């Protein structure tokens, strides 16, 4: 069984991205990301800190605005408008989930689609569904980079995606069905009948349901490739912190049957931020009328 850790892939991509940022800078183009974080969700604080560090590593400028959880919808929309109109800001990202009482969808739709580096705006999701994406949804594109750079072909393969979220499952199922990736995609969800049997058809099984260690060995066809997108914090008294992070896949059980499995942590998770950096670079290129940088 192959453990599909992403460290080397991430490093190779970030090396190319760092060079691209430097070459843009040499031609007078500075790249800058604006991040909005509302409230004190601990996981969101960690993610936003990692995004700031990634910008620093790659030479991308970052503006991070941390707002209290009492922030009103009106104040939040005013900040988005300010970043929309700021020519120095190439990409805008509002960390989700937002605190209760704020309207996430309205904020997403207020972001200028040309600066929507999360690829959450309906305009960008529409371009993706039309087969002409401007931005790549970050976690789904991270999954595709792991497959491509591990020499796991998707062409003609049966891929089963479990989970239909707007951030991962649905955009990933669309991407995999596009020309070039050419997979035969089944999108499963909480209403799917005989889920284990559906999953056991897959050459490539993607778990993105947010349930700790839900995918057991009977969900997996012998020799399948299993991609675990889950990040679940569970209690573990044997750990110094009293908890640990596990994926949506029962890694030990599935390892005995699969050809390859992505670990958690160290698999899909770290790729998301590198793909965000890729989108920020391409936002800057798009705004200057340049063709996209290809990975
Ligand atoms: N929350 C969890 N993942 C993401 C992401 O990729 N982007 C944003 N904006 N919020 C998130």
Enumerate domains of the chain plus CATH numbers: 28-113 (3.40.50.10860), 138-270 (3.40.50.720)
| pLDDT tens by residue, 105-126 | 999 999 999 999 999 999 999 9
Q: Give the model's pLDDT for residue 55.
A: 98
pLDDT (mean) for 180-191: 97
Confidence class of residue 291 from pLDDT cuts 50, 70 and 90? very high
Beta bridge partners of 160: 186, 205
Catalytic, out of 10, 95, 114, 157: 95
Q: Give the model's pLDDT for residue 111.
A: 99
Please give the Cα distance from 182 to 163 (Å, whole number).
Answer: 20
Using the atom order of ligand 1, give the atom closest to the CA of residue 272: 6
253 lines ligand 1 (CB under 6 A): no
Please give the Cα distance from 156 to 150 (Å, whole number).
Answer: 17
Query: Known catalytic residue: 241?
Result: no
Q: Give the model's pLDDT for residue 23.
A: 98
pLDDT (mean) for 17-24: 98
Q: Give the model's pLDDT for residue 152.
A: 98
48 is in an annotated binding site: no
How far is CA 230 from each of CA 146, 168, 211, 265, rounded to the nearest angstrom? 15, 10, 7, 9
Please give the Cα distance from 183 to 176 (Å, whole number).
Answer: 6
Gyration radius from the chain CA atoms: 19
Q: Give the model's pLDDT for residue 216.
A: 98
Q: Provide the angle, in degrees to the nearest 10, between the axes of the packed helices 138-149 and 169-177.
A: 50
138 lines ligand 1 (CB under 6 A): yes
H helices of the chain, where? Answer: 7-26, 42-58, 73-85, 104-110, 122-129, 138-149, 169-177, 195-199, 251-255, 269-287
Mutate which of 37, 51, 167, 277 for ligand 1? The one with the most ligand atoms within 8 Å of its CB, which is 167
225 is in an annotated binding site: no
Please give the Cα distance from 220 to 63 (Å, whole number).
Answer: 44
Catalytic, out of 112, 114, 116, 118: 118
Q: Give the model's pLDDT for residue 86.
A: 98
> Looking at the whole model, is its pTM more than 0.95?
yes
pLDDT (mean) for 187-196: 97
Catalytic, out of 51, 115, 221, 257: 51
Please give the Cα distance from 177 to 155 (Å, whole number).
Answer: 9
State in Å: Cα 44 to ligand 1 middle: 8
């Amino acid at each position: 069984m192959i453990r599909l850790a992403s460290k080397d892939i991430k490093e190779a991509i970030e090396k190319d991205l760092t060079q691209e940022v430097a070459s843009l800078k040499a031609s007078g183009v500075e790249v800058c990301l604006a991040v909005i974080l509302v409230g004190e969700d601990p996981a969101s604080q960690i993610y936003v800190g990692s995004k700031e560090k990634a910008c620093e590593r790659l030479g991308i400028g970052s503006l991070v605005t941390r707002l209290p959880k009492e922030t009103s919808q009106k104040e939040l929309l005013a900040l988005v408008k300010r970043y929309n109109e700021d020519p120095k800001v190439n990409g805008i990202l509002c960390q989700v989930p937002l605190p209760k009482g704020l309207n996430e969808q309205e904020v997403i739709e207020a972001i200028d689609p040309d600066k929507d580096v999360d690829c959450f705006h309906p305009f960008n999701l529409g371009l993706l569904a039309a087969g002409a994406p401007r931005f790549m949804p970050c976690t789904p594109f991270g999954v595709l980079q792991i497959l491509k750079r591990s020499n796991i072909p998707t062409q003609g393969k049966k891929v089963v995606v479990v989970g239909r979220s707007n951030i991962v499952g649905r955009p990933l199922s669309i991407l995999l069905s596009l020309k070039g990736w050419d997979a035969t995609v089944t999108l499963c969800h909480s209403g799917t009948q005989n889920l284990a049997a559906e999953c056991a058809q897959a050459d490539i099984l993607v778990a993105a349901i947010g349930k700790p260690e839900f995918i057991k060995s009977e969900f997996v066809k012998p020799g399948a490739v299993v991609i675990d997108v889950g990040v679940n914090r569970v209690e573990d008294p044997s750990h110094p912190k009293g908890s640990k992070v596990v994926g949506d896949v029962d890694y030990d059980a599935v390892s005995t049957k699969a050809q390859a499995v992505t670990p958690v942590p160290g698999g899909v998770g770290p790729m998301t931020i590198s793909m965000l950096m890729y989108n920020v670079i391409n936002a800057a290129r798009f705004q200057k009328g340049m063709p996209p940088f290809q990975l």
